Amino acid sequence: MQELFNSVLGNQLGPFGPLILMGTLGAVLILFALPVLLKKKSDPLDRLREQSQTGRNAASDAVGRLRPKDTKGAKLEKYSAFLEPQNEEEYSAAQLKMIQAGYRTKNAVRIFHFAQFAMGLGALALGLVFALLKSNQQEMTPNSLVLTVLLPACIGYMAPKYWITRRVASRKEEITNGFPDALDLMLVCVEAGQSLDQAIIRVAREIRSGFPALADEFEIVSYETKAGKDKSMVLKDMAERCGVPDVASFVTVLIQSQQFGTSIADALRIYAAEMRDKRVMRAEESANKLPTKMTLASMMLTVPPLLIILIGPSAYDAYRMLNEAQF
């Protein structure tokens, strides 16, 4: 029976027919088992809390119906136990990374893990289909079969993480490049008689076209300050969201200036001058690195043609003399 089964699969799917069939059945079983595993049972305590808050939240619910809701992440609420880290520290770290990438919604972490899971399974299915089609045309070794199926799945799973890492790096670079200009504008506003809060709002509006990420951070600072949050905590949260050392140093300068009662304009003037000097130093550092980076490229582009020109005729003559000596 087993030999008949193997012969039928071999005629239809090639020599790796049983392996392909087992992989397909495993993927199908996983897809059928996931809804059962991810189904989240409602907690009785949650129902009691909802009933107790029904009367108090009637007005806020009426207002909430008029506001746009995050329906993309709300649909994944029942899978939050699987799509979100259960450890508080891990969840905070993941949420901070998403905020640094520019995704500030409540369900950003959940959507990110769902994208990893969905793209991994989708790429795995595509790899499996491609392996089936390729096995019908030619024989495949087990190593090539495993690479054909698993390599797309790994790429699909790591693609969202790579995207977030690139977003964080580009956003930090944008904030670093725009921060000296923002400090100069803030210094002008403060010296013109505006308060620090008004200067932050004006700077956020002025630098929006060139550095939108930094403008968003300044707007968040202004909104949290208007909401009554402590200014020191607001500035520290800004430094944590940006993840840039220059912003962290700036926050430390402002907090110390506020605690010791020194002039904010003087502190901004000195720090803005330091940021300008630091930007010039970064530009000089990049310029000094350029010859070193170009050395390898110049060697690869100039040395082989030079060797061909210098040694090529001699090598050709030696090869021709050897052929003549043999005959």
Average pLDDT for 224-240: 88
Evaluate whether residue 312 is within a structural domain.
Answer: no
CA 140 to the chain's CA centroid: 36
How far, in Å, CA of 135 to CA of 148, rounded? 11
Mean pLDDT score across all residues of the chain: 78
Same domain membership, residue 153 and residue 189 = no
Q: What is the pTM of this model?
A: 0.66
Same domain membership, residue 236 and residue 210 = yes
pLDDT per residue as tens digits for the range 82-100: 566 667 788 888 888 888 8
pLDDT per residue as tens digits for the range 266-323: 888 888 888 888 888 988 888 888 888 888 778 888 888 888 888 888 888 888 888 8
Number of domains in the chain: 2
Domain that holds residue 85: 2-36+73-171
pLDDT surpassing 50 at residue 188: yes
Same domain membership, residue 136 and residue 16 = yes
Confidence of residue 64 (pLDDT cuts 50, 70, 90): very low
pLDDT surpassing 60 at residue 77: no
Own/partner long-range contacts of 108-112 (Cβ < 8 Å, ≥24 apart):
108/73, 109/83, 109/84, 109/85, 110/73, 110/76, 110/79, 110/80, 110/83, 110/84, 111/72, 111/73, 111/76, 112/160, 112/164
Residue at which a domain ends, from 150, 171, 192? 171
Burial 1-33, CB ≥16 within 10 A → b, else e: eeeeeeeebeeebbebbebbeebeeeeeeeeee
Same domain membership, residue 154 and residue 8 = yes
- pLDDT number for residue 81: 56
Burial 233-245, CB ≥16 within 10 A → b, else e: ebbebbbebbbbe
Cβ atoms within 10 Å of 317's Cβ, excluding its own: 10
Average pLDDT for 28-49: 57
Evaluate whether residue 186 is within a structural domain.
Answer: yes
Same domain membership, residue 117 and residue 81 = yes
Evaluate whether residue 11 is within a structural domain.
Answer: yes
- pLDDT number for residue 44: 54
Evaluate whether residue 55 is within a structural domain.
Answer: no
Same domain membership, residue 268 and residue 145 = no
Same domain membership, residue 219 and residue 99 = no
CA 289 to the chain's CA centroid: 27
Same domain membership, residue 200 and residue 136 = no
Same domain membership, residue 182 and residue 152 = no
Residue at which a domain ends, from 231, 256, 275? 275
Same domain membership, residue 256 and residue 178 = yes
pLDDT per residue as tens digits for the range 111-165: 888 888 888 888 888 888 888 887 777 777 777 777 788 888 888 889 999 999 9
Confidence of residue 169 (pLDDT cuts 50, 70, 90): very high
Residue at which a domain ends, from 257, 275, 293? 275
Evaluate whether residue 288 is within a structural domain.
Answer: no
Asked if residues 80 and 109 have their Cβ atoms less than 8 Å apart, the reply is no
Q: What share of the chain is helix, strand, coil (3-state, %, to 5)?
A: 85, 0, 15
